């Protein structure tokens, strides 16, 4: 899939297949004064993004912003090309600003959360770094509630951490459209898509439900899912809640299988029990659940580096 689609009067979507199973959608919001991209996708998408501008009748110089949801490589990968073509400003969470300018740090912190367990290999470097074009600094640091008035479309930043420790959705209250990055992760992929804060993820799902219940959102657009109605989004949120519970229960079962367990064993056995690939995102996910269980007093970290149920 490699296409450009008009979703509403003012929103266009460019799509790309990251893998045969995983799509990536990047959204253009056209206002009366200027336009903004929500994320920039991967570097190979640049021709498609330019096609989307033409389809939307947006001159390159009218693209004023790239408004990021979060700083992962597949969401910031076309920043340099788009900024060179349009002169736009890059807006992103301050917590991960270094990931935009220091790709080595991006790689190490993202793909090697525990360096002793994740070897630094050419294949891993290629997976993370090959989709990025060039470093570009963040021009605007985002905070909850900040708004960008494009003229006829006002995009408001909604804080939705979990997948990362800082992530935003973008809500146009006038149209009732909410655009998300990975605030709801891929739930049935071959990999554990990854989340860094279990409590943050649960709180973000609860916030999304409140927005839906308040009637402020009439359509939700995603980076990796098709557009959804409020009712379908509620179903996806329920699926995500079950997913979090399943991962937590699996980690607990692994811990209960022996008096003390290493992080590597918990990671390996959790992936095996869930039928997911044993890779770096899963390691970050398992570690997040262990940290959450520790914070709740259910698990303790032993002096020898192993973990045990209390």
User: What is the residue-level pLDDT of the chain in tens, covering all 310 positions?
Assistant: 568 999 999 999 999 999 999 999 999 999 999 999 999 999 999 999 999 999 999 999 999 999 999 999 999 999 999 999 999 999 999 999 999 999 999 999 999 999 999 999 999 999 999 999 999 999 999 999 999 999 999 999 999 999 999 999 999 988 999 999 999 999 999 999 999 999 999 999 999 999 999 998 999 999 999 999 999 999 999 999 999 999 999 999 999 999 999 999 999 999 999 999 999 999 999 999 999 999 999 999 999 999 999 9
pLDDT, tens digit (0-9, with 9 covering 90-100), for 128-153: 999 999 999 999 999 999 999 999 99
Torsion over CA: 69, 95, 247, 274 (sign): positive
pLDDT, tens digit (0-9, with 9 covering 90-100), for 253-262: 999 999 999 9
C-alpha triplet 8, 225, 191: angle, nearest 5° = 160
**Angle between helical axes of 230-256 and 280-295 (0-180°, round to 10):** 80
Beta strands in 31-95 (DSSP E): 35-38, 63-67, 89-93
Reported pTM: 0.96
Q: Please report, for the chain, how many H helices and E strands are present, in that order.
A: 10, 14
**Residue with structure tokens 């590597």?**
264
Beta strands in 68-226 (DSSP E): 89-93, 140-142, 147-149, 154-159, 168-172, 177-179, 219-221
Helix (H, G, I), strand (E, B) or coil at 183: coil
Residues paired with residue 12 on neighbouring β-strands, in sequence order: 6, 28
Cα 216 to Cα 146, 173, 187, 235, distances in angstroms: 17, 6, 25, 17
């Amino acid at each position: 899939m490699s296409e450009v689609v008009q979703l509403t009067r003012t929103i266009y979507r460019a799509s790309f297949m990251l893998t045969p199973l995983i799509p990536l959608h990047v959204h253009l919001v056209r206002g009366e004064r200027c336009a903004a991209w929500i994320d920039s996708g991967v570097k190979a998408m640049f021709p498609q993004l330019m096609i989307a501008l033409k389809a939307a009748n947006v001159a390159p110089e009218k693209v004023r912003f790239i408004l990021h949801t979060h700083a992962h490589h597949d969401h910031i990968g076309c920043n340099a090309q788009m900024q060179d073509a349009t002169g736009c400003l890059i807006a992103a969470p301050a917590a991960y600003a270094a990931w935009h300018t220091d790709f080595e740090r991006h790689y190490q912190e993202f793909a090697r959360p525990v360096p002793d367990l994740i070897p630094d290999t050419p294949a891993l470097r290629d997976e993370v770094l090959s989709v990025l074009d060039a470093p570009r600094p963040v021009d605007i640091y985002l905070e909850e509630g900040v708004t960008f008035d494009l003229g006829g479309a006002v995009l408001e930043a909604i804080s939705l951490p979990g997948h990362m420790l800082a992530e935003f959705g973008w809500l146009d209250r006038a149209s009732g459209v909410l655009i998300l990055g990975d605030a709801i992760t891929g739930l049935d992929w071959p990999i554990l898509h990854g989340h860094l804060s279990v409590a943050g993820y649960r709180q973000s799902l609860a916030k999304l439900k409140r927005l839906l219940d308040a009637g402020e959102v009439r359509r939700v657009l995603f980076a990796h899912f098709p557009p959804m109605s409020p009712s379908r989004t509620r179903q996806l949120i329920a699926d995500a809640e079950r997913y979090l519970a399943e991962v937590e229960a699996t980690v607990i079962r692994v811990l209960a299988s022996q008096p003390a367990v290493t992080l590597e064993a918990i990671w390996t056995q959790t992936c095996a029990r869930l039928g997911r690939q044993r890779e770096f995102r899963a390691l970050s996910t398992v570690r997040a659940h262990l940290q959450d269980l520790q914070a709740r007093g259910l698990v303790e970290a032993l002096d020898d580096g192993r973990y045990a149920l209390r």
